Structures are given as C-alpha cells and as structure tokens.
Chains A and B, each alone.
Chain A
Amino acid sequence: GLKVLEQLLLQHPSVAAGGIHRQIGDRSCLLQKDFVPFLLNFLREQTSQILTNGPSTPAKTPNSKASGSQRTGSERRAGHATSSRVQLFSQRTSASLGSFLTATPDALPARRGRRKGGSSVGASGRQVARDLGRSLAEEEDGKNDSASWSGGRRKRSEVPLVSARSPPSQLNLNNLEEFPPMGAASGWTKSKPSRRINPTPVSAERPLSKPKMCFTSTPVSQSPAARFSSGTSLEAFTAVQEGNLTSVISNSLQEEREMLKKERYSLRISLDPGTPTKPSYTRSASLPAESHLVTCANPTKVSCKKQLECLAQLYSSCIAENLVPNIFLELFFVLQLLTSKGTSTAEDGDSDLEDNERSEGKQYVHNCVYFAVQVLDYQVISQLEKGMLKLLAENERIASFSPTLHERLRQAYESSTAKVSLLLPCSVQSVSFQPETDNRSNFPSDRAFHIFKKQRDIFYELLREWEDNHEKSGWDFERVLGNKIRAMMAHLSATCNHSHFARLFQKQLTQMCKGPIGGGASWGDTPDQDVLNMLGSDNLSRLKRLQERFVVPQSIRGPCPPPSFPGCQQFFRDFILSAGSYQFNQHLMDSLCLKILELNGLTLVEHEHNDGEADMDEQDEKKRFTVVLLSLRLLAKFLGFLVFLPYRTVEQPTRDLQDSAVALRNQTLPVLDVLKLLRQSIRDQRSILTIPWIVEYLSLVDHIAPFLDYYRKVFCLLLLMVLSEDKEMSFLNKLLILAVLGWLFQVPSVPEELFFTTDIRQEGLMMGTVTSAQALDSVPLVDQQLLYTCCPYLGELRKLLASFVAGNGAKNGGFIRKITPTAAESLAPKTSVTQRKLQVELEQAFFHNQPPSLRRTVEFVAERVGSNCVKHIKATLVAELVQRAEVMLQDKVKEEDANHDKLLEEVCTHLYEEGAQALIKGREFCKKKGPEAVRVLLPEETSAAVLNSAEDIAVELATEKACGWLSANIAALIKREVKATFSRMLKVPGLPLPGEDALESRRDCPPGCQHCAPFPSQIINEIKDVLCVAVGPRDEDEVIDCLWLECLLGRLSQTLRCRKFMCPTSEQQLAKCTVELASLLVSDRVPLNLGIKPPEKSSERLRVKNNPTYGLLKLLLSVWKEDFGTPVPVQLMFSKKNMGYLAEVQHREWDLFLFILNGLVEHELMRTGEVESCLRSLRELPWPSVSN
C-alpha cells in the first residue's frame, strides 16, 4: 500500500502536507509501525556519506538491532512465515547492492564514508559499532561501576543475521501473521532471524543513542576496521551472500521491489552523487579547513526539486505529527544536512578540473541543503532558543536558499527573549543539622545517636575525598572508598540508623545535584558550548583555533546521550554501588518515593491572577516549578537506578531468559506506582510535571523491565502522550515532554521497536481529563532555560550549527514581534465538599470568593503558629516542669538509693497534672499570635470583616493543630525530658547540679566592675607555683615572698569578685587549691620569706603576732567566706594527706591549726559540730606511733 502513496507523492508533489497526513492518519497504526521507520532510514541512507559533520543521526527504528521475533509461545506459528520473509528480503536487498559488494569487498571497512550502500556490511558493522559505542560510552561514563554498567561489549551471535531485514513497504500490511497485533506479541528478542523492515541501511553507523562513540569522535587516522571485531564483518558478508542464494523470490514482492528501486534511483539522483566508493567522500579532520566549502551550496544547482520538495513535505508532516521517535533527533539530522560539507578537500584548489565525482558531490550538497531548508521551512522554529535562532539566521545557506525563511528566522531572533544562560555552579554544601529530626530524641539509643554522629562526619569526609581526588588519574572510587563505605554500612546496620542516613544522603544529593549539570564547576560538559556562545560568529578565527584545539572528538556528541550521572551525581551513584547494602537501598528508596510523591503532589500554581501581582506570582510559580521539576527528575533518576539495579545486565538476555524473567517479575509490584501517577497526571493535566521525572525513572530500566505488563502500559501511555494532540498544552511544555520522551525512546535499554510497534490502541486510553485547580499543562511553565537544563543534549544542535559558522550574518532590522505562548487560564471552581460539616462549608465558602493568597496566608499562619505554639510550650511550661522535677529528684535520690525507675515514674505522674495546663497555655498562645501574624501578612486594605474571619480561622486551625499534638504528646514529652535530665544528673555527680549552677550564674560582678581583674587561669597558675614550691622538691634557698603571697590572695579576691571570666571548674579549682595552700601554711610547709627574722627568744604571744602566716590565713578565710560562689571544700583540711603534713610539724605550730579551726567556725564556713566530727574521724587515721 505504501508504494502507492509514495508514487502519488512523487507524481503529485503538490499534495499538501495536511493531505498526506490525512492519508497517513487513516492508517496511522500501520504507518507508524512501518512507513515512518522506512522513511527515516531511507533519508539517512541517502545522505550517509555526506554527513561528515557530527555523528550520524539514525533514527532508532526497529531495524537497527535485529528486531527479530520475540514472540510468545502462542505466536510460534507465525515464526515460519517470518523467517521465509526474511530470506526474501535479504535476497532482494542483496540484489540491489550486490554489485557494490562484490566489486569492492576489501575496501568496505576502510572508511566509513565509503560504506554507503554497503547494506549488509554496513548493517552488521553498524551493529558492532553500536555495541561498541555503547560499551565505550558506558565505560567512559561509569569507570567505577563496571559491574553494572559497562563490562565490555555485548556479544551477539546473531550478528550475521542482523543485516537481513525486510522493507516494510514490501509487506502485506494486512497479514496478521506477519504483523500480529501488539497484544499477541509479548515483545521482541534479538535471538531470532530478524525481520528486515528496511531495505537499506541507515547511515554507516547508528551510534546515536550512545553518542560518545560517534563519527566525529573517532580520530580519522584510526581505521574503522579496527573497531570491527575480527571476522564479524566477514561473517556478515558471507551470511548475506548465502541468504542471497537461497532466497525465494516472490512475485508480488519482486514487483514492489522494482518500485522501490525506481524510487531509490530517483532519489539517488536527487540526493546522491552516486559514487559511493570514491575516496573523496571521506571526512576531513579539520572542520575549519572545510568551512569555506559551504559557499558552494547553490540553490540554482539543485536538481530534482519536485521530488525533494515532496519528500520534505512528507518528512515534515511526520515530524509535525510526532510520528518520529525523537523530533530533536530529526532536527539534528536536518541541521546536519544543512551544514553538510559533502565533498572534501578534493574541492578546494583546482575546481576547474572537470571531475565527474566532484561535480556530483557538489550536486549532492546542493540537494541536501535544499531539502534541509525545505524541511526547516515547515517547522515551527520561532520558538527555538535565541542562540539557536541567531546561528540559523546567520546561516548563509538558509539565506541563499530561502530568503523568506531567513527573514522569519531573523525576526524570530530579534524578538526572542528565550536566552539560555548557564547557571552558576554551586559549591558543595552540607546539609544542616536540624534538631527536630537529628537530635537525640530521634534515636532509639545513645549509641545509635553517637554512631550516627560519627557517620555524618565520615560521609562528608568521603565526599571531600572524592571531591579532591576523583578527577585525578588512577583514582578509583571503589578501591579508595569502597571499604570505608562498607564499614560505615556495617555500623548503620548495627544500630538501625539506615533511615537517618538515607535522609541525609538524599538531602545531600538534592542539595548538590539540583543544578543543571549535576552541580559543581568543572564537572559538566558545557564549557565548550559556553565558549561557543561567547565567541559567536564574531570571532571566527578564534573559534577555528579553538576548534582545532578541541579536536572535534569531544565537541559534538549527538542529541541522544545515554542516561548518565554527571558531576556530583557520580559520587552518589558510586556510593550506592560500593555500599552494596540492601538495607540502605531499601531505606533510600522509601525516602526517595516519599519525597517524589510529596513534590509531585505540590500545587505549584495558584492560577487566579487578576491584578498587578500576577506577574510576580507567575515568576515565582515558574521558579518554584523549575526547582520542583529538577528535584523530581534527580530523585526519580536515583530511584530508577535503585529499583532496576538488581536486574541490570550487561547483555541483552536471551529470549528464554527473558521469558522466564518476565513471567517471574510480572508478579511483583512496582516500588512506586508510576502508572497510576502518570494516569493521574494526565487526568489532572499535570503531565508537564510528572512525565519528565517518570522519563528519568524509566531511562534506567533494565533490559527486561520494558517487557513487563506493567511497564509496557507505562510506555504505551507515554507513547500516547507523544502522539496525542493536546491543544491545551502550552507549546514549550509540550516541547519539553516531546524532547524527554524522544530521548527516552533512544535509551539503550528501551527496546527500539517500542516506538513503532507498540499498539497504542491496546491501552484503549486517552481517558478524559478533569479540569482541576491544580492543572499545570496549560500554564506556560517551561521556558527555554528549563528545556535546555532538562535536555542538555539539545545543545548539540547549537554546537552543530556553531561548528559550521559561515560568515558574519548578524544583520539589523526587522520588527519586533512578541511571542507569548498562549495559555489557557484554568478557572476551575473549587470542589465543594458537601459531606463536611456546615462550619467547614462556610469556611470554604469564605475562601471561595477571596483571592487565593488569603487562603494560603491563613493556612500558612495556622501551620506556623501551631508549630511555634508547641515549641513555646516546650521551652516554657515543659522546661519549668522539668526543672521542678530535677529538684524533686535531687532530694529523693539523696534520701534513698532506691529504684530509679519508680522514682522517675512518681515524679512524672506528679507533673502530668500540671502538664494539662499546656492546652490552656497553647490556646492562649494561638489566640494571641495568630491574629498578629494574619494582620501583618494580609493587605492593609482587607476589610475588617474579612480580616476578623481570617484571623478566627487561623486561630482555630492553629489551636487545633497545636492542642491536638499537645494533648496527645505532652505526657510523653515531659517524661522524656525528665528522664533525660535525670540520667544526666546521675551520670555526672561530681559537677555542680543545674540548680546550683543556676544559682551560680545569678551572681553578678560588683556594680561598676571593669572586668579588669586577673584571669582565673592566671591565678590558678600562680597558686600552682606556690604549691609547687611548698610541696617540693625545692632548693634550699627557694622561698616565697610573704608580701607577694599576700598580694596574690588579694588578686584572688578580685578575680573571684569579677564573674565575667569565671567558670565553675576554675572556681572549684581555686577553692581546692586555696584549701591545700591553707593546709600547707598551717603545717608550716610554705617557705615564707618573712623579711625580718622572728626574734628567737620572744614569747609565744609575740611570735604569734609577728608570724605573717596568721595574716595569710585570715585573708584566706575572708576570701572563702566573702568571695567564693561555690562551696569551699574546707573539710579537705582534715584529709589524711593534709593531717599527715600536720603530724610532721613541730608541736608549737598546732597553734596555726587551732587558729584556722576557730576561723572556720567564726566565718561560718564550718559548724562546730562538723569540726568536731572531722576531728573525731581523725582518730581513725594511722597516726605515726613515734610522736614528737
């Protein structure tokens, strides 16, 4: 049937695109399945040799891998028919190419450019190269996770058969055996003889979906042959020849084949110079060197215009109707044609040589450019990003081939404001410690808490190490960090801290990677693009030099990179892989799911602006949407990574394995019900938020998952989103969805047949949508910036154009036309809740006619005030109760060393009654604070009645929230706090109890204190020196000046009076030291320098009077009494050690001891009774038997 259509097209090129589409539409299923891939591959084949700029852009159509027959058992019957068909087509195909193959078999692998037309070898080589490309890309991408991502190329035994495929146009489309409905086929494997859907190969290779291995990235000096595994191409070659010999030629097919041949011929004339074996069609290494060649594209030299126009129309329609898997891929292809250099160095210099090849090559370029310009003319390009528009508008080829298009582009450029700037990279930041989630009360035990404390630090240590080193060569994540991570996991398991760590991990992930390039400065792949932007076309020579320096490999990768973890994301992925912890992964998935659901459900847009603030609100909403969308995509990517991680295989499983795996896994439930969420999002018109993250999630599927019933439904639904015409949806929203979906269908593990073979009718879907207040699709939320952030690979288009840069095309003039994407306002009425109570209804009604900001404000205030209320109660009432409990406990603990638990229980029960006050106080708090906040936040002009109602509702909601929580939790809260304090109390008996501490801090400096007293540390130090000398050992003549010591005690007094620098430990130490000092003084151990020698023979009385020790002791007593805030441990004077000093002194010195005893009593430092009991206990000491 299709040939008719094509013939029609060729003969009547005036058929309008719409008309074509109508015809296509009638049979959209079949067309989609077969015609479109045919068309796309056809175009690529025709142009393969000329596309020297950038990677080839094959469509990921079912022919690329042996799409073969992955049929279920029920379908086996069809197997025979299929295989015979394969033979037929392979024969046919070979026939058309046979001459070429036999003519230059040895030249085949030599140059990619030459392989044009070499269908069989091209196909197999393509396959190998594709696999290679994949593994290369993967190796490059994930050097540390070889286990799951790379691990070498896949081997495919079926390679030889790959090339044998059938063109769809030749098939009887109504034959159900050959084209079973999708429902009958569970999927496709690569193990069976493949179905030849396409008559000709696409361009030489199809590394598009794994673009790191692309045309441009291969140094020209390297022979492509080297990339073919030995023998593969040869096998393929022979296989085809065999197929050729054994094939049966069917008449009808033969007929169609002739048709096609004809058509191919005409197109070859139109597009193809027809000299595929010529070495001149090789790619030049130096793009800049070629750039002058572009001028040779001449509109007057185009041949077969009609056919080209017709083809362009057809192609454009396919793109416009979203019949292609990836519109950006097609756009990329078109731009490749536009910028094609075609003939290379052969053309510069002596152009006067009448070389047939060369003129054909030129012809080729003219036609390609003509075709490209024609296609561009059909597309909506005015919405492209400004930098793109600039490059297009400056493109000389467009200017010369289509002045009208050029003019349109120029105008679009001038009016465009859709500038994409590169966001500033963010540096690594930590996740802040939040007491609500992170303090001790969130952990089951002290141990868990302390271990997590360590783990947090270890985690950041690892992160810093990675940050410092991961770019150094030879640094290996697993080798350096693997064991540390696993040790950490072991600790986590031991204390069940996984959920805490998963939260930290997830928060850190979001914080670090929410930027467009995964965060971080040097980690993205944007710098080169940045450079191109900067230079523009104004600095052509500099650009050229730069390009030479880049050496083309890195610069253009094609618009469909495989999923990757750029920048910091790499750390998190590698961490997960190295950890290899089931528990951690599970907790992380839980955490990710919760966050995804939370973000996915956010309202985001309050779409009822009618006044001046609308602009501001819209901006805020856009910003908010962007943040949420990017976070969702990040989280979903990691969720997908974790979910499909256990099933990830390096190789595509064989059909048997796949069948059993599918049977097995069809029984399990998905971790996150993405199908439900997707359906909801379509129904609620929120797909612009949901689809982008679901795509990220799905991009990490393993090879089996897409064949599971569940995910098949998801893919179907997504496909439907591509094909559906949603008039409501804002243009750029739709573009983003198309871009990400297009990318998804090119992801390696997503079967390529999916796009073309999935029968969307199966889903029977397009459920109705509900006009919801939360609808997002119609709101213009996506801008170019977001589009490029989500799809950085779109930048490839710009790079391609920039690398072409011909001339300085920036021109002035043109009118400015404001392009504003149309957006239907969602005016959904709030759903009335009839079942609720009248009050609630009234409340709803109240909000209904008010601006939405009022409701937001009230809800916000209620939420905050309620929460603050609880905090306030904790800080005041509960703290007070706990303090009281402390006093009670202190007393009781001293009384009896009895059962602590019982004691605690008693005290708490006592306090619970008072805890009931919390509700009263809470209500008071809300009643006071709620209205204040509402009044501040609402517009000044709000009427009194509205204000009052709003206040009342806010207070009501806040009270509800706060008191609800309090009544449920107050007792537990009190108990927890009291318990914590109690255990603290028991743990540190030595330290002053908090009660005393409080008393302590109430002591202030004397009025007018200048805080210039010596520091306590200074005084302790000096007293230590005195003690040192006193305790000895010391030199004979070492003495302490009496006056100096007196002065020291004076300064001690000052220091103690000024409270500013005093801390409890200092003061206690001072007290202790001075008591020791007193003991040493009393036992005459301090070698005082008295100044005047005491008269030897004076009376006791005189001696006492003259002995300066008395003065010092007096001073000490006074300091103890007046200046110390803490109790002075004077009883230490009676310790065994100090009494030992005393025991060694001569008899008369006991006077000093008596003096100090008196002093202690006089100064009320000790009571007489206490002194007596101390003295009594002295008797028990082992007194030296020989007493003087």
Chain B
Amino acid sequence: SIFSQEYQKQIKRTHAKHHTAEAIETYYQRYLNGVGKNAAAPVLLELANEVDFAPSLMARIVLERFLQEKEQAIPSKTLINSMLRDPSQIPDGVLANQVYQCTVNDCCYGPLVDCIKHAIGHEHEVLLREMLLEKNLSFIAEDQLRAKGYDKTPDFILEVPVAVEGHIIHWIESKASFGDESSHQAYLQDQFWSYWNRFGPGLVIYWYGFIEELDCHRERGILLKDCFPTDIVTLRHSMAQR
C-alpha cells in the first residue's frame, strides 16, 4: 500500500511531462515502429518501463492517440475507459493485445488494479460492519444514506453517537490504505471535513496504518485509528474492553 502510494505520487509528478503533445507523438510513433517490427513483442510495456511511466497510463495515451487518428476526433473518456476495461473492443487486434498486456502488468493503475483496490475497500467495510453489529452499535450505511438523498456520505453513520477515547463520533469511514500525508490531506478536503460539515465529528480507520502526526484534528472532531477502537463509551454504559 505504501509503495503503491509513493509510486502514484511519483507518477502524478511526471504526469504532465508525458502528456505534452510532443511526448504523445513520440510514444505513438515508437509504438508503431515497434509493432511494425514485431507485433508479438511487448512494445508498449517496454516503452512504458523505459520512460518510467505506468503501463496502463501509457496504454491510454497510445490508445487515445490511435483512436484520434482513426476517428478523426477526440474520443470520449467513456469510450477509452470502456476499451481499457475490455480491450476486446479495441478495433485493432495488435493494439488490443498490447493494451491488455500493459493492463495486467501494471501494479498500480489500470482497471484491474482499480478493481482490486475497490474490492479491498469493500472487504474492509464489510469487516467494519461486522464489528459494529457485534458491538450493537446501530448505524446507517452509505447506500441507505444515498437513497435518502444525502450529498456526501461516510461509510457509516451511527444512529446514536458514541465516544471513542473520549471523543464523540457520529460517523466512521473505513480506509483500506495507509494514511500518508498527501492522501490524508486529500481525504480531509474531499471527504472528512465534508462529513464533519454535515454530521459532526467522526472516526477514520486507516486499516493499513497512518502517520501519527496526522491525527491532529481530534479536538476538532476527526479521529484517526488503525483498527476498530476498543475504548467505546455508549450513551448508557461503558464498553471498555481489553
């Protein structure tokens, strides 16, 4: 998780570099040359490794360029995504193979990895739900909230707030990743403060740990943990365990 996040940061830093018009053109020409010589060779993948860029993203660049040439128009994002997800839809068999090769060989990006991340996130949510049920804490889950028309929804809202380590919490968000500074800042901005703005203070569980210094908003109402809390006080009785 930590490696993946660091890698993503690096990719983000160089993202712009690979998306200049010149860079795109270069990559596309190199791809064409490569497959011209040997269509079965992992041209695209090697190209990506050579310039130190995520293979899936390289595949996207080349695919986009390819479609642009073919259709004489800038292809829609939806179409690109759909083709990346299922390369069979790519009208060019060679490119389809190349793209697929990139996707399966990418450890941080691409539909497959996204799906794995999503699955992990979901699994931890399920685990958290289990724990809440076990502790008899009634909650409203995200999908129920969404059905009611909430605009921003944490994973769980507690119907009756509890105190964790002396801090009142109204909601719990599960994060199946490591809480490093940049991702935490982004989450704060996009999610956690938004939850606070609507539901009051809450708890974030970074199942893969977090940088301790980030847990600095406790007083204000955002609590960080790396596991399900044990020191929970409910309205009626203390459930302190361990």
Instruction: Mark A residues whose CB is within 8 Å of B.
Output: 429-430, 432-433, 435, 438-441, 449-450, 452-453, 456-457, 459-461, 464, 990, 1015-1017, 1020-1021, 1024, 1027-1028, 1031-1033, 1060-1061, 1063, 1065-1066, 1069, 1072-1073, 1076, 1132, 1135-1138, 1140-1141, 1144, 1181-1182
Query: Is there a chain A Cβ closer than 8 Å to B87's Cβ?
Result: yes
B200 contact set on A, CB distance < 8 A: 429-430, 432
B88 contact set on A, CB distance < 8 A: 1132, 1135-1138
Q: How far is the CA of A1031 from the CA of B97 in the complex (A)?
A: 8
Partner pick for B119 among A1069, A1137, A1181, CB 8 A cutoff? A1069
B10, chain A: closest CB distance, angstroms: 21
- When the two chains form their complex, are residues B104 and A1031 in contact, meaning their CB atoms are under 8 A apart? yes
- When the two chains form their complex, are residues A1020 and B149 in contact, meaning their CB atoms are under 8 A apart? no
Query: Is there a chain A Cβ closer than 8 Å to B229's Cβ?
Result: no
Q: How far is the CA of A1182 from the CA of B88 in the complex (A)?
A: 14
Q: A452-B151, A1024-B112, A1061-B122 are in contact. List 18 more A-B contacts (CB 8 A).
A: A430-B196, A430-B198, A430-B199, A430-B200, A433-B152, A439-B150, A439-B151, A450-B151, A457-B152, A460-B193, A1020-B112, A1020-B115, A1066-B118, A1069-B116, A1140-B96, A1141-B97, A1144-B40, A1181-B93
Given contacts A433-B150, A1136-B93, contact A1015 B198 (CB under 8 A): no
Given contacts A1020-B119, A1137-B87, contact A1031 B101 (CB under 8 A): yes
B111, chain A: closest CB distance, angstroms: 8
Q: How far is the CA of A63 from the CA of B148 in the complex (A)?
A: 64
B11, chain A: closest CB distance, angstroms: 19
Query: Is there a chain A Cβ closer than 8 Å to B159's Cβ?
Result: no
- When the two chains form their complex, are residues A1061 and B115 in contact, meaning their CB atoms are under 8 A apart? no
A818, chain B: closest CB distance, angstroms: 38
Partner pick for A1021 among B46, B111, B116, B118, CB 8 A cutoff? B116
Q: How far is the CA of A45 from the CA of B215 in the complex (A)?
A: 62
Return the CB mask of B197-214 against A: 1 if under 8 Å, else 0. Answer: 111100000000000000
Q: How far is the CA of A441 from the CA of B40 in the complex (A)?
A: 54
Q: How far is the CA of A1020 from the CA of B199 in the complex (A)?
A: 35
- When the two chains form their complex, are residues B122 and A1063 in contact, meaning their CB atoms are under 8 A apart? yes
- When the two chains form their complex, are residues A1137 and B97 in contact, meaning their CB atoms are under 8 A apart? yes
Partner pick for B116 among A449, A1017, A1137, CB 8 A cutoff? A1017
B42 contact set on A, CB distance < 8 A: 1032-1033
A1073 contact set on B, CB distance < 8 A: 112
- When the two chains form their complex, are residues B115 and A1065 in contact, meaning their CB atoms are under 8 A apart? yes
Q: How far is the CA of A645 from the CA of B218 in the complex (A)?
A: 39
Partner pick for A456 among B46, B93, B198, CB 8 A cutoff? B198
Interface of chain B, main secondary structure = helix
Partner pick for A1069 among B41, B89, B112, B193, CB 8 A cutoff? B112
- When the two chains form their complex, are residues A457 and B194 in contact, meaning their CB atoms are under 8 A apart? yes
- When the two chains form their complex, are residues A1069 and B122 in contact, meaning their CB atoms are under 8 A apart? no
A1076 contact set on B, CB distance < 8 A: 100
Q: How far is the CA of A1066 from the CA of B115 in the complex (A)?
A: 6
Partner pick for A461 among B86, B93, B113, B193, CB 8 A cutoff? B193
- B residues 60-98 near A (Cβ < 8 Å) are 82, 86-90, 93, 96-97
Q: How far is the CA of A37 from the CA of B184 in the complex (A)?
A: 66
Query: Is there a chain A Cβ closer than 8 Å to B105's Cβ?
Result: yes
Q: How far is the CA of A429 from the CA of B202 in the complex (A)?
A: 12
A460 contact set on B, CB distance < 8 A: 193, 196-197
Count of residues in B whose CB is under 8 Å from the partner chain = 44
- When the two chains form their complex, are residues A1137 and B198 in contact, meaning their CB atoms are under 8 A apart? no
A1144 contact set on B, CB distance < 8 A: 40
Of the A-B pairs whose beta carbons lie under 8 Å apart in the complex, a sample of 19, sorted by A's number, is A429-B200, A439-B151, A450-B151, A456-B151, A457-B193, A464-B193, A990-B82, A1020-B115, A1020-B116, A1031-B100, A1061-B123, A1063-B122, A1065-B115, A1066-B115, A1066-B118, A1066-B122, A1069-B111, A1135-B89, A1137-B97
- When the two chains form their complex, are residues A1060 and B126 in contact, meaning their CB atoms are under 8 A apart? yes
Query: Is there a chain A Cβ closer than 8 Å to B45's Cβ?
Result: yes
A1020 contact set on B, CB distance < 8 A: 112, 115-116, 119
Given contacts A1136-B88, A1137-B88, A1137-B93, contact A439 B119 (CB under 8 A): no
Q: How far is the CA of A452 from the CA of B116 in the complex (A)?
A: 33
Query: Is there a chain A Cβ closer than 8 Å to B160's Cβ?
Result: no
- When the two chains form their complex, are residues A1015 and B119 in contact, meaning their CB atoms are under 8 A apart? yes
Query: Is there a chain A Cβ closer than 8 Å to B239's Cβ?
Result: no
- B residues 17-49 near A (Cβ < 8 Å) are 40-42, 45-46
Q: A-B pairs with the 9 shortest C-beta distances?
A: A439-B149, A1135-B88, A1017-B119, A433-B198, A1137-B96, A1066-B119, A1069-B115, A1033-B42, A460-B197
Given contacts A1065-B119, A1069-B112, contact A1032 B101 (CB under 8 A): yes
Query: Is there a chain A Cβ closer than 8 Å to B227's Cβ?
Result: no
- When the two chains form their complex, are residues B105 and A1137 in contact, meaning their CB atoms are under 8 A apart? no
B101, chain A: closest CB distance, angstroms: 5
- B residues 148-162 near A (Cβ < 8 Å) are 148-152
Output the nearest chain B residue to A429 by Cβ-Cβ distance: B200
B196 contact set on A, CB distance < 8 A: 430, 460
B114, chain A: closest CB distance, angstroms: 9
A1031 contact set on B, CB distance < 8 A: 97, 100-101, 104-105
A195, chain B: closest CB distance, angstroms: 57
- When the two chains form their complex, are residues A432 and B193 in contact, meaning their CB atoms are under 8 A apart? no
Output the nearest chain A residue to B97 by Cβ-Cβ distance: A1137
Query: Is there a chain A Cβ closer than 8 Å to B133's Cβ?
Result: no
B12, chain A: closest CB distance, angstroms: 23
- When the two chains form their complex, are residues B112 and A1016 in contact, meaning their CB atoms are under 8 A apart? no
Output the nearest chain B residue to A1073 by Cβ-Cβ distance: B112
Output the nearest chain B residue to A1140 by Cβ-Cβ distance: B93
A1167, chain B: closest CB distance, angstroms: 21
Q: How far is the CA of A449 from the CA of B151 in the complex (A)?
A: 8
B221, chain A: closest CB distance, angstroms: 8
